Structure 1
Amino acid sequence: MGHWWQRNIIEPGKLPLLLALTSFVLTFMITRVITRMIRAGKGPFRNIDSGGVHIHHVVPGVVLTVTGGFGAVASGRHGVGPALCAVLFGVGVGLMLDEFALILHLDDVYWTEQGRKSVEMVVLTAALVGLVLCGFLPFGVNDLDEEELEGRGSAILGVALNFFFALLALSKGKARIALFGAIVPFLAVIGAIRLARPGSPWAKRFYGRRPRARAKSRLRAYHHDRRWAGPRRRIQDWIGGAPDELPEPSRTPERH
């Protein structure tokens, strides 16, 4: 175990990244537990208000992220500084992304349907950082051997191709595949060759005069969303808590 730790974590300099990822995930988990307890009216935790203004935890998250980021730049690569800054950065990002939906909508949508975006962003971030920690590098650089890396032309070509496929997948409305494809190249290729989703820039540009392709795209998107929407929502509810149910619209009696 000690040999594996030294070879895979310490020597490549991945300890700060591991500390940042761990503190990020733990902060999100602890924050969600506390907010769910506050929502249920259990435990000693309460919302923080100052002068009638509710202080969201994205505020200390911004402070910790800025402190950890600038501290990492200024601390160099030796000593306990990088590790401490990595923990501060991970905690700050965990607090910030837990309220990502509030930043996106500029509204308190934490326990609404729009608030699911926070959970999705946290999961995506943790997965992407986890891939980097496991040795995957953006745009397929990890697939190049030492000789190819020494030749700048091969390295640039590999990065350009992977970036092109990821961009193509993004234009087809496959944002998640494009993000992961930037790190795992074959995912970008899969996203680039599959049908575009309805309403995506690719579909609007190339399916406008192709009714068969347009109908096939809608049908595939419908079956995909129907198959995966339910499980995805249940996982999000399990991680972050179910959103509040919207009240049924009141019906006014018709006047005759």
Structure 2
Amino acid sequence: MAGVDDGWWYRNIVEPGKLPLLLALIAFVITFTVTRLVTRLIRAGKGPFRNVTPGGLHVHHVVPGIVLMAVGGFSAIAGGRHGFGAGVAAALFGAGTALVLDEFALVLYLSDVYWTQDGTKSVEVVLVTVSLAGLLLVGFAPFGVDGLSEAELHSRTQVILTVGLHLVLSLGALLKGKLRMAVLGVFIPFVSLVGAVRLARPGSAWAKRFYRDRPRARARAVKRAYRHDRRWSGLRRRVIDLVGGPPSV
């Protein structure tokens, strides 16, 4: 019978040092879920939960989130990738990150927009973060370095060219107004390639610079963006409302 050290868990999680990442992701998801549940109960006036307002000052949960991120982050840097301490630091960092990103829109707008339409950006950022952490956990490395052979990894030129190409593709998708494709393309180059070669979004920096004197290209960009938004915006809004709660009118 094979020992525990020969199992899938040890080979894919423990030995590569991915256990802290897994614990951070679990802590992130649990903290975000509990936080949204509590804030929705407070919003509905149900349960024993209330906003923390010592002396009339509303303390947003981004504040303890920053503290947890700092403690967990510095503890992780000071320690290693293995051991009990690394797991605790990762869990603290994951929990703190969830609290901070749950109020990402507040930090972005410097205003309490938690239950407004602008506040849904926090949920979008959380969903993207979970996706990226999941990609790291299953073995995807930034800029496609995980796709190189051992010989290519020892060649600095090959690594630099690979990272540079994937970075250019992600920047191209970003300039064309496709933020999600640019971010995911850091891990899956094909995604950023599609975003970089297709028409830009009408309001993007690329469209303002290169479609300014090309009315046909500008009209095609507007038409394609309209069709895309009509097809996917409703589904995206329903998912965000399901995860984070519907915004106030």
**TM class by shorter-chain length?**
over 0.9
Q: Equivalent residue for 1:136?
A: 140
Distance across 1 between alignment mates of 2:52 and 2:157: 55
Is residue 143–residue 166 contact of structure 2 (8 Å, CA) maintained in 1? yes
Q: Give 1:92 deviation, angstroms.
A: 0.3
Amino acid of the residue matched to residue 120 of structure 2? Answer: R
Q: Give 1:80 deviation, angstroms.
A: 1.1
In the alignment, structure 1 residue 117 sits paired with structure 2 residue 129: no
Q: Give 1:188 deviation, angstroms.
A: 1.0
Number of equivalenced pairs: 245
Q: Give 1:52 deviation, angstroms.
A: 0.6
Q: Equivalent residue for 2:178?
A: 174
Is residue 71–residue 89 contact of structure 2 (8 Å, CA) maintained in 1? yes
Distance across 1 between alignment mates of 2:230 and 2:189: 27
Q: Give 1:69 deviation, angstroms.
A: 0.4
Is residue 17–residue 82 contact of structure 2 (8 Å, CA) maintained in 1? no
Distance across 2 between alignment mates of 1:161 and 1:149: 15
Q: Equivalent residue for 2:109?
A: 105
Q: Which of 28, 42, 45 is 2:32 aligned to?
A: 28
Distance across 2 between alignment mates of 1:103 and 1:77: 31
Q: How does 1:148-167 map to 2 (within 5 A)?
A: 148-167=152-171
In the alignment, structure 1 residue 225 sits paired with structure 2 residue 229: yes
Question: Residues 143 and 77 from structure 1, CA distance in 2 versus in 1: closer, same or farther, beyond 3 angstroms?
Answer: closer
Moved more, 7-16 or 203-212: 203-212
Question: Which secondary structure does the structure 2 equivalent of 1:220 belong to?
Answer: helix
Q: Which of 190, 193, 199 is 2:194 aligned to?
A: 190
Q: Equivalent residue for 1:69?
A: 73
Question: Which secondary structure does the structure 1 equivalent of 2:119 belong to?
Answer: helix
Question: Which secondary structure does the structure 2 equivalent of 1:243 belong to?
Answer: coil
Distance across 2 between alignment mates of 1:35 and 1:105: 19
In the alignment, structure 1 residue 17 sits paired with structure 2 residue 26: no
Distance across 2 between alignment mates of 1:233 and 1:78: 40
Q: Which of 75, 81, 88 is 1:84 aligned to?
A: 88
Moved more, 118-127 or 74-83: 74-83
Moved more, 1-10 or 30-39: 1-10
List per-residue Cα deviations over 1:103-162 (Å, max 9, x = no partner): 111111111111101100000000011101110000010111111111111111111111
Distance across 2 between alignment mates of 1:76 and 1:144: 26
Q: How does 1:31-42 map to 2 (within 5 A)?
A: 31-42=35-46
Distance across 1 between alignment mates of 2:120 and 2:38: 17
Distance across 2 between alignment mates of 1:149 and 1:6: 24
Q: Give 1:208 deviation, angstroms.
A: 1.1
Is residue 20–residue 81 contact of structure 2 (8 Å, CA) maintained in 1? no
Question: Which secondary structure does the structure 2 equivalent of 1:76 belong to?
Answer: coil
Q: Give 1:190 deviation, angstroms.
A: 0.6
Question: Which secondary structure does the structure 1 equivalent of 2:140 belong to?
Answer: coil
List per-residue Cα deviations over 1:34-70 (Å, max 9, x = no partner): 1111111111111111111011111100000000001
Q: Equivalent residue for 1:250?
A: none
Q: Equivalent residue for 1:253?
A: none
Distance across 2 between alignment mates of 1:235 and 1:168: 28
List per-residue Cα deviations over 1:80-115 (Å, max 9, x = no partner): 111100000000001111111111111111111111
Amino acid of the residue matched to residue 88 of structure 2? Answer: L
Q: Give 1:79 deviation, angstroms.
A: 2.7
TM-score (norm 1): 0.94
Aligned residues: CA RMSD: 1.1
Q: Please say which structure displays the higher CA radius of gyration.
A: 1
